[in-house]
Amino acid sequence: MNFASDNTAPASAEILAAVADANRGAVPSYGADPVTTRLRARLNDVFGTELLAHPVGTGTAANALALATVVRPYGAVICAEEAHIATDECGAPEFFMGGAKLITLPNRDGKIVPAQIDAVMARARDGGVHHVLPEAVSITQATEWGTVYTPEEIAAIAAACRAHGLKLHMDGARFANAMMHLGCNPAALSWQAGIDVLSFGATKNGALAAEAVLFFNPTLAEGFERRRKRAGHLWSKMRYLSAQIDAYLTDDLWLRNAGHANRLATRLAAGLTALGTVRLVQKVQANELFVAMPPSLIAALRDTGAYFYEWIAVPGIDLPVVRLVTAHSTTQDEVDKFLSLAAAASRKLAA
Amino acid sequence: MNFASDNTAPASAEILAAVADANRGAVPSYGADPVTTRLRARLNDVFGTELLAHPVGTGTAANALALATVVRPYGAVICAEEAHIATDECGAPEFFMGGAKLITLPNRDGKIVPAQIDAVMARARDGGVHHVLPEAVSITQATEWGTVYTPEEIAAIAAACRAHGLKLHMDGARFANAMMHLGCNPAALSWQAGIDVLSFGATKNGALAAEAVLFFNPTLAEGFERRRKRAGHLWSKMRYLSAQIDAYLTDDLWLRNAGHANRLATRLAAGLTALGTVRLVQKVQANELFVAMPPSLIAALRDTGAYFYEWIAVPGIDLPVVRLVTAHSTTQDEVDKFLSLAAAASRKLAA
Amino acid sequence: MNFASDNTAPASAEILAAVADANRGAVPSYGADPVTTRLRARLNDVFGTELLAHPVGTGTAANALALATVVRPYGAVICAEEAHIATDECGAPEFFMGGAKLITLPNRDGKIVPAQIDAVMARARDGGVHHVLPEAVSITQATEWGTVYTPEEIAAIAAACRAHGLKLHMDGARFANAMMHLGCNPAALSWQAGIDVLSFGATKNGALAAEAVLFFNPTLAEGFERRRKRAGHLWSKMRYLSAQIDAYLTDDLWLRNAGHANRLATRLAAGLTALGTVRLVQKVQANELFVAMPPSLIAALRDTGAYFYEWIAVPGIDLPVVRLVTAHSTTQDEVDKFLSLAAAASRKLAA
Amino acid sequence: MNFASDNTAPASAEILAAVADANRGAVPSYGADPVTTRLRARLNDVFGTELLAHPVGTGTAANALALATVVRPYGAVICAEEAHIATDECGAPEFFMGGAKLITLPNRDGKIVPAQIDAVMARARDGGVHHVLPEAVSITQATEWGTVYTPEEIAAIAAACRAHGLKLHMDGARFANAMMHLGCNPAALSWQAGIDVLSFGATKNGALAAEAVLFFNPTLAEGFERRRKRAGHLWSKMRYLSAQIDAYLTDDLWLRNAGHANRLATRLAAGLTALGTVRLVQKVQANELFVAMPPSLIAALRDTGAYFYEWIAVPGIDLPVVRLVTAHSTTQDEVDKFLSLAAAASRKLAA
């Protein structure tokens, strides 16, 4: 019962098989191989547009490279205060951007709104050269609180971005989970909604280590390839990176994986809510739950061998909050066993 | 017949099998998994010392992170003028080090010598704050000219480093090939010879994408882990990186692979020399050959479908120079076919 | 009537005279001149300790160089959310530190307290390599809200810093104004209270362009001089920089200048408070006033030709807030004229 | 007799007077003052074109900011191997550019030629993403060997730059000395010859600390002002910087100063050549001499109290080479005394 993170999960068998399949003979290095060519075509097809795709090995690399390509060193990126780029990447965006700042916005559910962007830009315009210049907005899909931006919400943010001359980046580490929640297609959730550049995640949802930076407007990608090389993120044997993403997108594997994880998150949420002893502090829209629990229940569950993280405190809630994450590899048995243990522990605590 | 580079080669079957074997169930992420623990123990065992090992996905990342950890932004690294870090990493060391310089030294065979280091340091001492401060030396093993430093040559460089307060880094992208040439053990070629930090390569010799930064003096590694994270080089599913290197070191796979590549390079060198139409411009000590050839022979060989790169011109040699690289996956048949085609082409040209 | 900033003020005649006096004959460049030697001795004398002093031309340079010397690129600096380094230096600290972050703390009067530092460090310890590592605290004296840290408050912050292994930096752009408010000596307000490195400002208080970075613990200064050179902040004709600071410290010029500015700020505060139409939103302890005013009064005062800035809104105060700054060159006549105009405008508005 | 450098010289009286004259009353800070406005107009007038001028305090700042504005972090700058930016700025260009490289070219007289640029670009085009991308050429006027590029030589370099899409920067630390040698006007030596951005030096030729970055094509200046601010090079009391340059350009002060220094350099060269014991290793075209001298003569001259630097060895010359620099403040008496001492020492050595 490991609900610590979807990055504790193994890879999908189909993805491993694709890597093995790519392991034949000598092929040109650095992306000039047939697997990478096939991947590019498949991404165009999946997203319904001619895009520029650059695979890398980690989500932090994808985010930091994407932002550094569209933001100058004296610039800034506007994002939610819990954004992974702001809290969990040890300053990677700042490093790759050459010192540009992140301007973080408070929020209740992981989502920022256009009025906040307007307010930041009003202050920035006043400040002149003493202040960094916001050049991009970054949103996370699904958000760090497990919620999902609708295409309409994204379009409203994109409109604010266009009004202020900002580029719009999406950290799509859980893009597939958001799509499955919304039941929409990839285009609707990305370029059609106004996203300029997407960190398209696969690692958390079934790959070994594979993400792709997708530029929907190729003119924004200038310099990306040299930036990737000088950051050490250009794989010489690129086929093994491309093969993962190619398999991920084949036969809807990515959607099946995300759908599975989402369904188990919903099942877990329903079961926990029924207990009466815990409370969801955010809507469950993807594969993450944030649950306020009595400390004694947390301790009892950990004693049973369940893994999960205690999260940051939530204002107005006096119980500790834990995060539970389901993955493509989580089984219904694990969920049900956890629920049954939680029920037993709840009864014991009530007694 | 692909002699373009050892990074066009596929991965060893044993390494793919180890990746598949690691693909079981949920395990802690970011290196707290059992495969990474096993790898650390194995590296200690192979190198005969307690070292600090940090896997990363590419050689450029290994080099740039290693150097950034031991050199300050106002510092400098002394290296050969053909060093991969100086010529083929698009400025990665400068980026990771925050702008520190590379001071490149001319040489005839890819190797630098202690007197060159002494001369650089004499100038640097004069210069005071107007000049960057050399803080490390980086040597490549095997070198970019396919030659190999002996343990004695390394020890002499290390002595110069100690005398001047410099750290000694080795870019070991082809460390195994150098070892097999010398017939020595890993310790003799690294820490016992005075290496402080080693970029231990596996990708070119049979892995998919895996290198390890090895610190033989753990006090030099301060900050490495945060630097790796903020460079996007900390894999969340670390097990797939560690499994590659672990399998690479199991049952002497790395040595068998390198030995095979070296033997075929020697066979290729002997066959080419016998032709009379070409000339080796460097000793063949690892798995790379540098061969001066008439342009017409180059063209004829390319027409047969052979892949290889034309290299930079060599002073004093008026023919173009090509580089031929053998890999763990190169077959004797390929080598013999290439030699027979070269012989046929040579005869035709002579006619 | 220019109350916009103390950097609109001219230089003290004594400082100009010292620059002219230094303008004799050829002297060694880059700080090896007699004026710089004299300055070093004088600073030791004024601060009552052997310190390491490095003059630079601007306060932003002093702050950014000081912080970059004691914080690594993967590190962080804790400061108040209004800190000049965070809001008004266009990312200079991040640039000089190689991408390290500022962690900004909310506060009511420009001052941070030890418990806030403890809280940041508790979170940072949990986070491991995914999070930047706080390595320094920076406080501003006088603060951006015109208030002054007492030696005891600084000592308490310094104790928290020592407990957590943090260095303590002071942005002393208005150090003299703080000293005059407290009536203490330079040592009591700096190294005796636990400051490790001080940006000692002179520009705002009578110099043309001159600040000094003072390291009270010389072992912390490693690399500073090369960092200054590579940032373009080493003046070749250093004598003209040193002469300014030397004159600033001669015959208590700095204290007389700051005392004058503080007295006029107090006079201005008293006069404004008596009007009944405005309200001070912070204590006036140095040479800055923050005054909540009706918009019509602001407009009326600007019509009379007075210069001042409207400041950021203060939570809980529904009037706009303006900042008024007095300088060494402000005259009592200017203050009284402004007060009389404010009184007239207040009467008219009340009518 | 100080011939160590023109930066050991004092400032011109006219420049000090202008600083004192600017020291009246409160004026807007950060360049919105009347002196800076006047300077901008004067620069347009002197250069005969509408340019964008940004004063800074040091030549290193001018060079590094200019280059960082036109070169991306994955870019490179082509320059002579003795260029000040490459040898004497402790890596400032690399720091400001975010890690971009300098590609240094060998030469005999401090000057690079178009064919060298063509050769670098041919290699860079081959290299693709593994190599940094040259984006600018930087030349020094007068050069580090005291020689002067003619307008025709510059125009030829500029034509190569345009052909390859490179920007052309001039480090004009001794621009006035070059102009006086050529007898041409500022426009002919800068924008009319194809210079895009000029570091226009005043410090070495009579200012206290003042240079200006001049963009002849304002569209290239994007971001410069924020880069200057975040580098700590925006003076709050800008008037004192602008006043220096304004006075420098008034009544031909800059040309008189440079003409004087050049004349004394010529006199010194003539006198030394006549001795028979020494040899000029470069043409004397500005205010620097490079003289091969017997070590005993060097020692004898130093014993008389003369200051000068021993320079780097010159290939093919077996005597040490010293550099002698004249300044606006050097007197004919000093030169003649030095010559007479050199003559006496030469006789003694010959005896």
What pLDDT, on a 0 to 100 scale, did the predictor assign at position D135? 98
Question: Average pLDDT, stretch A305-317?
Answer: 90
Q: How far D226 CA lies from chain A's nearest CA (Å)?
A: 5
Asked if A177 and A261 touch (Cβ cutoff 8 Å), the reply is yes
Residues 6+ apart with CB under 8 A from A48: A185, A186, A187
pTM above 0.95, yes or no: yes
Q: How far D9 CA lies from chain C's nearest CA (Å)?
A: 5
Asked if pLDDT for residue D226 goes beyond 90, the answer is yes
Are A203 and B236 a contacting pair at CB < 8 A? yes
The Cα–Cα gap between D183 and D198 comes to: 19
Question: Average pLDDT, stretch A72-86?
Answer: 98
The 8-class DSSP code of residue C188 comes to T
Q: Name the closest residue on chain D to residue B73, using Cα atoms.
A: D95
Residue B274 pLDDT class (50, 70, 90 cuts): very high
Residue B313 pLDDT class (50, 70, 90 cuts): confident
- Percent of chain C having pLDDT more than 70? 100
First to last CA, chain B: 26
Are A208 and B240 a contacting pair at CB < 8 A? yes
Task: State ipTM.
Answer: 0.97
Question: With a CB-CB cutoff of 8 Å, which residues 129-148 of chain A face chain D?
Answer: 129-130, 132-133
What pLDDT, on a 0 to 100 scale, did the predictor assign at position D312? 84
Residue A292 pLDDT class (50, 70, 90 cuts): very high
- Percent of chain A having pLDDT more than 90? 94
Q: How far B226 CA lies from chain A's nearest CA (Å)?
A: 7
What pLDDT, on a 0 to 100 scale, did the predictor assign at position A124? 84
Question: Average pLDDT, stretch A296-312?
Answer: 92
Are D129 and A229 a contacting pair at CB < 8 A? yes
Residues of D in contact with B173 (CB under 8 A): none
Q: Name the closest residue on chain D to residue C307, using Cα atoms.
A: D28
The 8-class DSSP code of residue C271 comes to H
- Alpha helices (H) in chain D, listed in sequence order: 13-22, 34-47, 59-70, 84-87, 92-97, 114-127, 151-164, 175-182, 186-189, 224-230, 239-248, 253-275, 295-303, 332-350
Reported as a single tens digit per residue, the pLDDT across A172-230 is: 999 999 999 999 999 999 999 999 999 999 999 999 999 999 999 999 999 999 999 99
Q: CB-based contact (8 Å) between A185 and chain C?
A: no
Which stretch of DSSP H or E encloses residue A288? strand A288-292
Asked if pLDDT for residue D166 goes beyond 80, the answer is yes
- The 3-state DSSP class for residue B204 equals helix
Q: How far B305 CA lies from chain A's nearest CA (Å)?
A: 13
CA dihedral of B269, B272, B276, B277, whole degrees rounded to 10? -120
Q: CB-based contact (8 Å) between C73 and chain A?
A: yes
Question: C136-140, D256-260, D300-304: which range is least confident on average?
Answer: D300-304
First to last CA, chain A: 26
Q: How far B26 CA lies from chain C's nearest CA (Å)?
A: 21
Q: CB-based contact (8 Å) between C232 and chain B?
A: no
Residue C314 pLDDT class (50, 70, 90 cuts): confident
Report helix angle B253-275 to B239-248, nearest 10: 60
Are C131 and A100 a contacting pair at CB < 8 A? no
Question: Average pLDDT, stretch B13-36?
Answer: 97
What pLDDT, on a 0 to 100 scale, did the predictor assign at position C322? 96
Asked if C136 and C71 touch (Cβ cutoff 8 Å), the reply is yes
Q: How far B303 CA lies from chain C's nearest CA (Å)?
A: 50
Question: Token pair 């150098």 is at which residue?
Answer: B178
Asked if pLDDT for residue D309 goes beyond 80, the answer is yes
What beta strand segments (E) does chain B contain?
52-56, 75-80, 101-105, 133-140, 167-172, 197-201, 211-215, 279-280, 288-292, 309-310, 321-325
Residues of D in contact with C236 (CB under 8 A): 5, 7, 58-59, 203-204, 209
Interface test with A, best of B6, B8, B87, B323 (most A CBs within 10 A): B8
The whole-chain average pLDDT of chain B stands at: 96
Reported as a single tens digit per residue, the pLDDT across B231-250 is: 999 999 999 999 999 999 99
| Peptide linkage before A142 cis (omega within 30 of 0) | yes
Are C230 and D29 a contacting pair at CB < 8 A? no
Q: How far A88 CA lies from chain C's nearest CA (Å)?
A: 5
Are C132 and B226 a contacting pair at CB < 8 A? yes
What pLDDT, on a 0 to 100 scale, did the predictor assign at position C124? 84
DSSP string, B56-74: ES-HHHHHHHHHHHHS-TT
Residues of A in contact with B242 (CB under 8 A): none
Residues of B in contact with D85 (CB under 8 A): none
The Cα–Cα gap between C2 and C258 comes to: 17
The Cα–Cα gap between B116 and B103 comes to: 11
Q: CB-based contact (8 Å) between C60 and chain D?
A: yes
What pLDDT, on a 0 to 100 scale, did the predictor assign at position B13? 98
Interface test with D, best of C5, C29, C248 (most D CBs within 10 A): C29
Question: Average pLDDT, stretch C189-208?
Answer: 98
The Cα–Cα gap between D199 and D67 comes to: 10
First to last CA, chain C: 26
Q: CB-based contact (8 Å) between C74 and chain B?
A: yes
Question: With a CB-CB cutoff of 8 Å, which residues 210-229 of chain B face chain A?
Answer: 226, 229
Q: CB-based contact (8 Å) between D256 and chain B?
A: no
Residues of B in contact with A307 (CB under 8 A): 26
Asked if pLDDT for residue A47 goes beyond 90, the answer is yes
Residues of B in contact with A4 (CB under 8 A): 26, 28-29
Are D88 and B129 a contacting pair at CB < 8 A? no
The 8-class DSSP code of residue C27 comes to -
Q: How far D115 CA lies from chain C's nearest CA (Å)?
A: 31
Question: A301-305, B103-107, C255-259, D8-12: which range is least confident on average?
Answer: A301-305
Are D226 and A99 a contacting pair at CB < 8 A? no
Asked if pLDDT for residue C68 goes beyond 80, the answer is yes
Residues of B in contact with C30 (CB under 8 A): 129
Reported as a single tens digit per residue, the pLDDT across C47-66 is: 999 999 999 999 999 999 99
Q: How far A20 CA lies from chain B's nearest CA (Å)?
A: 7
Q: CB-based contact (8 Å) between C269 and chain A?
A: no
Residue C205 pLDDT class (50, 70, 90 cuts): very high
What pLDDT, on a 0 to 100 scale, did the predictor assign at position C349? 82
What pLDDT, on a 0 to 100 scale, did the predictor assign at position A349? 82
Which stretch of DSSP H or E encloses residue A325? strand A321-325
Cα C310 from chain centroid?
20
Per-residue tokens: C156: 């308490």
Nearest to D230 among A74, A223, A229 (CB): A74
Closest of A142, A145, A134 to residue A110, by C-alpha: A145
Are D229 and A99 a contacting pair at CB < 8 A? no
Question: With a CB-CB cutoff of 8 Å, which residues 278-317 of chain D face chain C?
Answer: 307
Are A209 and B24 a contacting pair at CB < 8 A? no
